[in-house]
Amino acid sequence: MRRGFAGLALQVQEILKQDLFCGHLFCFRGRRSNHLKVNWHNGQGICTLTRKLERERFIWPSVGAEQ
């Protein structure tokens, strides 16, 4: 999970085709599922929140999961 704010913002705009300033939460998980970064625009600026788990892993839905 080496990407910082600028790299994650670029992913939101180019890959997800979303506006980073819309107020949605954009969550990014690390390869080992123990690191999570969230980008969010609160109306005044963009916040990047991070969380790293030492022993556990974040549960993430698979790409082909039904909704």
Q: Is 0.85 topped by the overall pTM?
A: no
User: What pLDDT digit, counting tens, does each position of 32-66 carry?
Assistant: 888 889 988 888 888 888 898 988 888 877 777 56
What are the structural domain ranges in the chain? 5-52
Label residue 23 by pLDDT band (50, 70, 90). Answer: confident
Label residue 19 by pLDDT band (50, 70, 90). Answer: confident
- HEC-encoded secondary structure of the chain: CCCCHHHHHHHHHHCCCCCHHHCCEEEEECCCCCEEEEEEECCCCEEEEEEECCCCCCCCCCCCCCC
